Amino acid sequence: MPNTVFSKITVGMLAILTLASCSNATTDQYEATARTSYTWQVKYANDLTDEPFPRLETFGSNSLLNRNGLKPSGRIIGPDEKGLWWPTLPLRPSVDEIEQRKQSSTEQFSKPELLKSVEYKITYSSGEQRRTLPTNYQVYRQVVKAYPSRTPLELTLGVNDDSVEKAEPAGN
């Protein structure tokens, strides 16, 4: 029972500290970006089945900047189920390229894996200050929907104002 009380107090204190260190900003000048990337990766180890932390090598990579949900120019793929556009696939590494990165004759390598990643950011102006902060998919989508009409948004900033955690039309 004492551990339960301690845990509840700890959670409560963390919640208060988290809420106290967050702030809001209202803006009608904003832009959301989502950088989509494809990267080939290969794992290397002396024993791929038992090695807990194999060495990772990256090969070809392509990325594309989505801006406010608008279709980017150039050769692209999409949009996907989240409304994101993707770059064309980078060339798969050849077996020769993969073998050249071995660090010893006993080292094994995995099949190349194609990794997909997305990095979301929002740039906004509040008064004389212009900031670019990391964000999440939900904020990106809210900005995409508000962008054409430039609806003012209320942004909820994260801990130490280092990210944007939420965006909603101002006055809601």
Looking at per-residue confidence, does 10 or 104 come out higher? 104
Assigned domain for 98 exists:
yes
4-36: per-residue pLDDT in tens? 555 555 555 554 544 456 899 999 999 999 999
CB 85 within 8 A of CB 68: no
Assigned domain for 9 exists:
no
What is the reported pLDDT for 5?
53
- How many domains, in total, are found in the chain? 1
Q: Of the candidates 56, 58, 77, which has an alpha carbon nearest to the alpha carbon of residue 66?
A: 77
What is the reported pLDDT for 171?
83
What is the reported pLDDT for 18?
46
Assigned domain for 50 exists:
yes
What is the reported pLDDT for 7?
57
Give every CB contact of residue 80 below 8 A, 6+ residues apart in sequence.
Answer: 86
Assigned domain for 131 exists:
yes
Assigned domain for 10 exists:
no
Angle at 99 (CA atoms; ends 96, 101), nearest 5 degrees: 115
CB 137 within 8 A of CB 7: no
Assigned domain for 7 exists:
no
Assigned domain for 6 exists:
no
Assigned domain for 35 exists:
yes
51 φ, ψ to 5°?
A: -75, 115
Percent of the chain surpassing pLDDT 70: 87
Assign 83 a pLDDT band (cuts: 50, 70, 90).
very high
Domain residues for 155?
23-169
Q: What integer is the mean pLDDT of 157-163? A: 96
